[in-house]
Copies of this chain bind each other. A is one copy, B any other.
Amino acid sequence: MGLDKIDLSILRELQQDSSLTNQELADRVGLSASPCLRRVKALEESGVIDKSVTLLNQNKLGLKLTAFIQISMDRHTPDRFELFESTLESFPEVKSCSLVTGQSADYLLEVVVEDMERYQEFLLGKLTRIPGVTGVHSSFLLRRIISRTSLPLDHLK
């Protein structure tokens, strides 16, 4: 699964704009249409390309509050984790949830809601009601400095 310069160039372009036509993409990476399409298909086939999605503007949708929540559990047993994770799946407010290492927390969540009132409802009405959740530490997004959907291809050999 060796990726050459051109493959990386294709990935870089598509990471920034998946709505490019094959012709435009071919021009940008210095190829003609057919080999370009071949490469894209191969990248999809190999799984390097996962999928293409449309990103929405949170603020325009009225979702103005982003919170990062660190959560610790009382016991580290499989049933605790399973219940927590399956419950979280049903909460639309949860943008991401990661099991992480560390003494201070077990899970790291990113939650998106309309305002502080909704956040409070989420915290008290949903999150802290899950059995096993003991520590909850919230911090709120003030300003997004960097948000790359792109992966760092530059420092790959």
Contact = CB atoms under 8 A, between A and B. Distances in A.
Interface of A: 1, 3, 11, 14-19, 46-58, 60-63, 66, 68, 85, 88-89, 92-102, 104-105, 107-108, 112, 137-156
B151 A100 contact: no
Given A14-B54, A97-B144, A104-B139, 19 more contacts: A3-B61, A15-B56, A46-B60, A48-B61, A61-B153, A63-B152, A68-B98, A68-B108, A89-B146, A92-B154, A93-B152, A95-B146, A97-B145, A97-B147, A98-B141, A99-B144, A99-B145, A100-B142, A101-B139
Given A99-B145, A100-B142, A50 B61 contact: no
Contacts of A46: 60
Contact of A60 (B48, B55, B93): B48
Contacts of A94: 146, 148
B148 A102 contact: no
A102 B1 CA distance: 44
Given A48-B60, A98-B145, A152 B54 contact: no
25 contacts: A1-B60, A14-B54, A15-B53, A15-B56, A16-B53, A18-B52, A49-B55, A49-B56, A50-B55, A50-B56, A52-B55, A53-B150, A61-B151, A62-B156, A63-B152, A68-B98, A93-B152, A95-B152, A97-B144, A97-B146, A98-B143, A98-B145, A99-B143, A100-B140, A100-B142
